[in-house]
Amino acid sequence: MGCGGSAEEELTAQEMALYDRQIRVWGVDAQKRLSKAHVLVCGMNGTTTEFCKNIVLAGVGSLSLMDDHLVTEDDLYANFLIPHDESIYGGRSRAEVCCESLKDFNPMVRVAVEKGDPSQISGEYLEKFDIIVVSCASIKTKLLINDHCRKRTKHIAFYTIECKDSCGEIFVDLQNHSYVQKVGGEPKPKELTYPSLQEAISVPWKNLPRKTTKLYFAMRVLENYELSEGRSAFEASLSDLPAVLALRKEMCDKMSLSESQIPTSLLERLLAAGMKQHPPVSAILGGILGQEVVKAISGKGDPIKNFFYYDAADGVIIIGTTRIGHTVLQAKERRAMRPITLLPRGKGIEGYCFQQGTKFRGDRLQLTGKFNYLTLLYLATPQMPLLGLYL
Amino acid sequence: MASSAAASSEEAVKAAKVLMVGAGGIGCELLKTLALSGFRDIHIIDLDTIEVSNLNRQFLFRQSHVGQSKAHVARDAVLKFRPNINITSYHANVKDTQFNVEFFKQFNVVLNGLDNLDARRHVNRLCLAAEVPLVESGTTGFLGQVTVHVKGKTECYECEPKPVPKSYPVCTITSTPSKFVHCIVWAKELLFAKLFGDKNQDNDLNVHSNENGTSKSDVFERNADEDLEQYARRIYDHVFGYNIEVALENEETWKNRRRPNPIYIRDTLPEEDIRQNGSSRDCNNDQEDPSAMASLGLTNPQEIWNLADNSRVFLESLRLFFEKREKEVGNLIFDKDDQLAVEFVTAAANIRASSFGIPLHSLFEAKGVAGNIVHAVATTNAIVAGLIVIEAIKVLQGDYKRYRMTYCLEHPSRKMLLMPVEPFEPNKLCYVCSETPLLVEVNTKTTKLREVIDKIIKGKLGMNLPLVMIGSTLVFEDGDGLEEDEAANYALNLEKFLAELPAPVVDGTKLTVEDFHQELSCSINIKHSFVSCATQPSEKVLEVLPELYGVVVYTYRYMLLDEFDEEKEPDGMVLTGWSAPVEKQVTSNGGNQSVASSSGADDADGIIEDLSTKPGMKRKLDEILETKENCDASSSAQVVEDYDDDDIVMLDEDPALAKKKRLQ
Ligand SMILES: [Zn+2]
């Protein structure tokens, strides 16, 4: 494969026409960088499928898929790249079948199959790529690949993504990442230093923020269970619950964490899910990851710092290892808001009429500037005197 | 083993019949996610056909589908991986009367992936009338939103006033542009329309000239003996030179403004004599779509041309229109997909911009402004579609306590990329979902019924086929099937001033307005305003401001236009409870050259590019991003203070991990 990425200096007219709408979002330079980036995805499932679709449409240089598992009927659920026709998928690997469908999505992107076992990947092999995404692999494999990435001189971005039922986790390691973030309209160079996966999951639990999402702990318990049992990822099922609960107790005791932080119901839900992924959650996770990979390649915009969590059942969305519960606003709070006066021209707020605009009903408001919905959201939490707007 | 989330919702999903409106950016993702999630009976409506610029995100479509119906192609594509479900596609406008309240009633939930405010409002009304829950969505770039509207439980789509088209004062466009967008509007709405559009349309360009003592009534008329090159140069000198000189004579205007420079072709292209109609150039343009860039050897649409290049493109594109597309001249309407039109407008806007000291822009940028192109990426649409399905499943389960509005952000903010917010209760003062009367302030002696119907009832209230009653007198009805004498009578009424209608409208009169298709009825209380238009009728600006408590104020603002600077006073008045509209349109005397559709800017949809009708959209996005960045900056300053608030702490900020500290 190799996918040498012989991207020309200027985008062709064909590329300009195809990518017009997104170039207006991230610029020509980002598009050129995308067209030179090589991405490897290990593990094809509903969620990585969504991710692959997104970056193929975005126009990466090449996408390589590694998953030797033969397609079974189970794979059809949540995967729109596999046709419902055994004569097509029968006897072929997930990577082969998905590759074929993905090629159609964008003729300008090279999509190829990489045969092999992610747990046997060498560091040298990874040098062919700029981005590695691992899914459906054991924690051991993930740690190994992450370690390989970190030891190469070439900068290789590492991601893991897992979806179980309606829960999702993304981990990001960009090592030392330099990027540009606009602050007040001015592009400002920034730099981030990431912890490795090993470092991130080794933080003593008692040192973690009080509101760290329960999903974070639950995922660590399951990982450890799979590791101690020597089973491959996601093979655990509901019948393993008693053993998992025992491990929960052991880990919580060791880490001085109350067991109530990892509810049995959550572990049950994750075990019952097995390999099953809730398609809308896959779409959301695959979308978020796609967006993050574009940010990493283009060096534009604040990336996720390390973990991203999503749980549709909970209706709570978290990034970082903390749970953000307070942003679900109470209607009463909103109605009780006092009027605001807006401030210096140009700095202010434009009526970007989100529902939050409601809070301005009932009082006079002189609009002299520009609103934005973020501001409005913040305004809705009384403790946030954002931009000094709040009276 | 079925997973828990799926188990409790599986039956509801299987039994559900859903209507999707829109098969564009969000629609493609949504149809795929619905099918994967187990929905078995999906109906999808979309009027559009597939274009090349859709292919970067509307992943169900391929190059070979360009020109075909989005709804049909999307249906076929999804049936390939889910052959056993039912998808019914309609290549039609959701506003068609076949999609009436009865039609809507057959669905358990309606999911919007629309690209304009007008259709969104229409669907909102039908959903309210049919009592079917609505999940509404929109994206722009990395920003997106999903909201849930269930009659009686949450607010309807129109409980909050939406940004509506706003006017650029005519004089900003014709005399005192200060931003590139003003030049684009001038080039597109005035100059392009004048040269290539319908000659009978009102146009605010100065077409008179006293040059050389000629008494020509319209300098845009081409002389019989004039070759195209001469004509193009004469137009150039008139609009960029002579008209600027005329404007400069009015000293008052320039007291506090930078004076523009007149530009003449002999100065910009001194070395080039009028060319013989070159045969060499023509050979480059044998293809079907003539292009000035191609003739002139300009290849990079990202490049900013200098004044000389812009002038060459201007002359060449004008020539090509008359030479290669002569048959269309007189009927042309600006279209962002018309390369030659974009070239002409870019060049004209840039020449005008140089005259006024406004920075020049590339063709790529100018096309974005002129075509109101909305920025769109696949990922946001995918995320939004996922969120729609999650809300739709809650709706099907009647789980209204867990409904959430969700906003997608570009960058983590307070550690969140997706923000869930509890839906608001219905606004008791909303004229759409409650029965609150509206107030319209208007000069009843100088305003015709037609203006009220076009600008308020259709333009602002979004009705399609309205009926207007004053007390028990029917003064107007729209739609087919009218008797001839009725129709004639209504036509007469349209041209009458409000105070002169068969049932006179005076201060305090109550109008009843109904739309049977939308099953919407509302009352409008009239407040007579004494503002007169006599002084400077040509400068009047019509504006309607949905105001506090759903009140609509309709005023003639004509007086301060000379001093009026929309930069300083975006709204020129104090608004109440209303957010500044962000869309712009030229409003000229009486004839509202509505370049803007009523699409709301907050719609922030990723699939709006087909509306060549959203001026200001690009500008808006930039502003959003910019303001948001300001917010991010301030919110990070907040982090320290809020540390105790325990929802802002990050792993990499943990003191235990000294080596992982963030470098900023
Ligand atoms: Zn309402």
Task: Give the integer Cα–Cα distance in Å for A219 and A204.
Answer: 15
Residue contact A181–B629, C-beta within 8 A: yes
Res. B185: pLDDT tops 70: yes
Task: Give the integer Cα–Cα distance in Å for B523 and B468.
Answer: 10
Helix (H, G, I), strand (E, B) or coil at B521: strand
B397 vs A: CB within 8 A: no
For CATH 3.40.50.720, the residue range(s) in chain A are 13-199+277-334
Q: With residue B417 as reference, give the H or E element that holds it.
A: strand B416-421
Mutate to test the interface with B, among A51, A101, A106, A361 (most CBs of B within 10 A): A361
CATH superfamily entry for domain B438-596? Ubiquitin-like 2 activating enzyme e1b. Chain:  B, domain 3 (3.10.290.20)
CB contacts of B425 in chain A (<8 Å) are 331
User: Which pLDDT score is estimated for B455?
Assistant: 76
Mean pLDDT score, A231-241: 78
Q: B104 with B370: CB under 8 angstroms?
A: no
* Portion 607-646 of B in contact with A at CB < 8 A: 609, 618, 620, 623-635, 638, 642, 645-646
Q: Which amino acid is at B162?
A: K
CB contacts of A286 in chain B (<8 Å) are 382
Comparing CA positions, the residue from B603, B604, B597 lying closest to residue B376 is: B604
Token pair, residue B146, equals: 């999903």
Token pair, residue B330, equals: 């007189």
User: Which pLDDT score is estimated for A331?
Assistant: 27
Ligand 1 center to residue B429 CA distance, Å? 8
Does B218 or B398 have the greater pLDDT score?
Answer: B398
Token pair, residue A314, equals: 């909970």
Q: B171 with B609: CB under 8 angstroms?
A: no
For residue B429, how many other CB atoms are within 10 A of its CB?
18
Ranking A278-282, A362-366, B122-126, B233-237 by mean pLDDT, the lowest is A362-366
Residue contact A328–B422, C-beta within 8 A: yes
Q: How far is CA B142 from CA A294, A378, B383, B485, in A?
A: 11, 19, 10, 54
Q: How far is CA B141 from CA A73, A389, B258, B624, in A?
A: 36, 27, 35, 11
End-to-end, the C-alpha distance of chain A in Å comes to 62
Task: Give the integer Cα–Cα distance in Å for A65 and A96.
Answer: 8
B548 vs A: CB within 8 A: yes
User: Which pLDDT score is estimated for B272?
Assistant: 63
Contacts of B70 (CB under 8 A, 6+ apart): B23, B24, B27, B46, B48, B49, B50, B54, B58, B61, B91
Catalytic annotation, residues of B: 171
Comparing CA positions, the residue from B37, B391, B6, B10 lying closest to residue A273 is: B6
| Nearest CB to A287 within list B83, B382, B425 | B382
Mutate to test the interface with B, among A24, A105, A182, A345 (most CBs of B within 10 A): A24
Residue contact B626–A182, C-beta within 8 A: yes
CATH superfamily entry for domain A13-199+277-334? NAD(P)-binding Rossmann-like Domain (3.40.50.720)
Ranking A150-154, A272-276, A339-343, B211-215 by mean pLDDT, the lowest is A339-343
Helix (H, G, I), strand (E, B) or coil at A303: coil
Going by the DSSP 8-state scheme, the letter that residue A89 receives in this structure is: H
Token pair, residue A125, equals: 């092999």
Helix (H, G, I), strand (E, B) or coil at A87: helix
CA B50 to chain centre: 20
Tell me the Cα Rg of chain A: 23
Which of the residue ranges A25-39, B279-293, B410-424 has the most confident prediction, judged by mean pLDDT? A25-39
Mean pLDDT score, A169-195: 87
Strand partners, B557: B541
> Min CA distance, B615 vs chain A (Å)?
15
Task: Give the integer Cα–Cα distance in Å for B32 and B74.
Answer: 9
Does B586 or B264 have the greater pLDDT score?
Answer: B264
Helix (H, G, I), strand (E, B) or coil at A162: strand
Q: How far is CA B367 from CA A21, B143, B330, B371, in A?
A: 11, 22, 22, 6
Counting Cα atoms < 13 Å in the Cβ hemisphere of B631 gives 29
For the stretch B602-660, pLDDT in tens is 223 332 222 222 233 222 323 333 333 333 322 222 222 222 222 222 222 333 332 33
Q: A226 with A139: CB under 8 angstroms?
A: yes
B178-357 domain in CATH 1.10.10.520?
yes
Comparing CA positions, the residue from B236, B241, B255, B351 lying closest to residue B305 is: B351
Token pair, residue A91, equals: 């006897």
Span B5-164+375-421: which CATH code? 3.40.50.720
CA B24 to chain centre: 16
> Min CA distance, B79 vs chain A (Å)?
10
Tokens 């790249």 identify what position?
A81
| Exposure string over B46-67, b if 16+ CB within 10 A, otherwise e | bbbbbbebbbbbbbbbbeebee
CB contacts of A272 in chain B (<8 Å) are 1-4
User: Which pLDDT score is estimated for B37?
Assistant: 95
Helix (H, G, I), strand (E, B) or coil at B545: strand
For the stretch B335-367, pLDDT in tens is 888 999 999 999 999 999 999 999 999 999 999
Helix (H, G, I), strand (E, B) or coil at A130: coil
Provide, rounded to the nearest whole percent, the portion of chain B with pLDDT above 90. 37
Residue contact B411–A362, C-beta within 8 A: no
Provide, rounded to the nearest whole percent, the portion of chain A with pLDDT above 90. 47
Q: A275 with A234: CB under 8 angstroms?
A: yes
Provide, rounded to the nearest whole percent, the portion of chain B with pLDDT above 70. 72
Q: B360 with B353: CB under 8 angstroms?
A: yes
Q: What is the mean pLDDT of chain A?
A: 77
Strand partners, B382: none
> Min CA distance, A112 vs chain B (Å)?
19
> Min CA distance, B83 vs chain A (Å)?
7
Q: B117 with B599: CB under 8 angstroms?
A: yes
Ligand 1 center to residue B395 CA distance, Å? 18
Res. B73: pLDDT tops 90: yes
B383 vs A: CB within 8 A: yes
Q: B354 with B187: CB under 8 angstroms?
A: no
Comparing CA positions, the residue from B108, B115, B136 lying closest to residue B124 is: B136
* Portion 144-203 of B in contact with A at CB < 8 A: 145, 147, 155, 159-163
Tokens 């187990």 identify what position?
B38
Which of the residue ranges A206-220, A329-343, B63-77 has the most confident prediction, judged by mean pLDDT? B63-77
- One DSSP character per residue, B595-650 reads -S-S--GGG--TT-TT-TT-TTHHHHHHHHHHHHHHHHHHHHHHHHHGGGGSSS--
Q: How confident is the model at residue A39 (pLDDT cuts 50, 70, 90)?
A: very high
Token pair, residue A353, equals: 């009429």
Q: Which residue stretches of B217-338 are H helix?
A: 228-236, 243-249, 251-254, 265-268, 279-282, 292-296, 307-324
Ligand 1 center to residue B124 CA distance, Å? 9
Q: Which amino acid is at B163?
A: P
Task: Give the integer Cα–Cα distance in Å for B555 and B568.
Answer: 20
Domain boundaries, chain B: 5-164+375-421, 178-357, 438-596, 615-663
Q: Read off the pTM.
A: 0.76
CA A39 to chain centre: 15
Mutate to test the interface with B, among A25, A275, A328 (most CBs of B within 10 A): A25
Ranking A142-151, A203-212, B170-179, B625-634 by mean pLDDT, the lowest is B625-634
B436 vs A: CB within 8 A: no
Q: B26 with B73: CB under 8 angstroms?
A: no
Going by the DSSP 8-state scheme, the letter that residue B553 receives in this structure is: E
Task: Give the integer Cα–Cα distance in Å for B165 and B593.
Answer: 12
Residue B143 main-chain phi, psi, to 5 deg? -95, 145
Q: What is the ipTM of this complex?
A: 0.81
Res. A161: pLDDT tops 90: yes
Contacts of A77 (CB under 8 A, 6+ apart): A46, A276, B36
User: Which pLDDT score is estimated for B402?
Assistant: 86
